[in-house]
Amino acid sequence: MKKIFAILAFAAMTITANAQGLKTFDCKMFSCQYPANFEAQEQWLDEAFNAKVEDGIEFMDLSLGEYGKDMTPAEMKKYSESVKYLIERSMGEPTGWKCGPTTVKGKTFTFRSEGEEEVDDNKVPAVKYSFGILTPKKNIFLGSLKFKKSDEAKYKPLVDKIIASCKEK
């Protein structure tokens, strides 16, 4: 009987997620939701997931790392500065991406970045929302959702839902 309820609960969650523009990815180490119009990429590592829109700049990545400590809000903010550095610089050179301030809420940090992506020899304004989530097992999810700046009204509401969906097994 419990198995039937579990199947029904999963079906209800999937239907609700699809209605909100999300679908579910599930693997050995974690599960998460991602935009329904993205296609999941082949998973090479148990602790990493990527999805994208074919022939577009839209991209989501998520990884689960063993960082092993329960960071304070100040430590999370400092850690996010390291992530920002990697977005703004590649091998020490500026990438053209600019990161905004970090927001820390509970065990999660987020920040927004703006830059450009090249599509068919044209520079397209883009936005990336990056996030980190401490797990109960003291690991950390690191992820981002990137899309055209003109689509921000469509994708921004999904960021909090994606963050809330990240579950370590």
Which CATH architecture best describes the domain 25-168? Answer: 3-Layer(aba) Sandwich (3.40)
Q: What is the pLDDT of residue 4?
A: 44
Is pLDDT of 112 > 60? Answer: yes
Q: What is the pLDDT of residue 20?
A: 58
The alpha carbon of 98 is separated from its chain's Cα centroid by a whole number of angstroms, namely: 18
Q: What is the pLDDT of residue 68?
A: 59
Whether residue 51 contacts residue 57, with contact meaning beta carbons closer than 8 Å, is answered with no
Least confident window among 59-68, 111-120, 138-147? 59-68
**Which tens digit of pLDDT belongs to each residue from 156-165?**
999 999 999 9
Q: What is the pLDDT of residue 82?
A: 92
Q: What is the DSSP string of 38-93?
A: SEEPP--STTEEEEE-TTSS-EEEEEEE---S---HHHHHHHHHHHHHHHHEETTE
Percentage of residues in the chain with pLDDT exceeding 90? 70
| 34 token code pair | 């991602």
Instruction: Give the pTM.
Output: 0.85
Q: Please report, for the chain, the start and end positions of each structural domain, with discontinuous segments joined by +.
A: 25-168
Is pLDDT of 24 > 50? Answer: yes
Q: What is the pLDDT of residue 160?
A: 96
Is pLDDT of 21 > 60? Answer: yes
Q: What is the pLDDT of residue 90?
A: 86
Task: With cut-offs at 50, 70 and 90, classify the pLDDT of residue 105.
Answer: very high
Closest C-alpha to 30, from 131, 159, 143, 120: 143
Is pLDDT of 37 > 80? Answer: yes
When the pLDDT of each residue in the chain is averaged and rounded to a whole number, the result is 87
Whether residue 51 contacts residue 40, with contact meaning beta carbons closer than 8 Å, is answered with yes
**Which tens digit of pLDDT belongs to each residue from 129-151?**
999 999 999 899 999 999 999 99
Whether residue 118 contacts residue 139, with contact meaning beta carbons closer than 8 Å, is answered with no
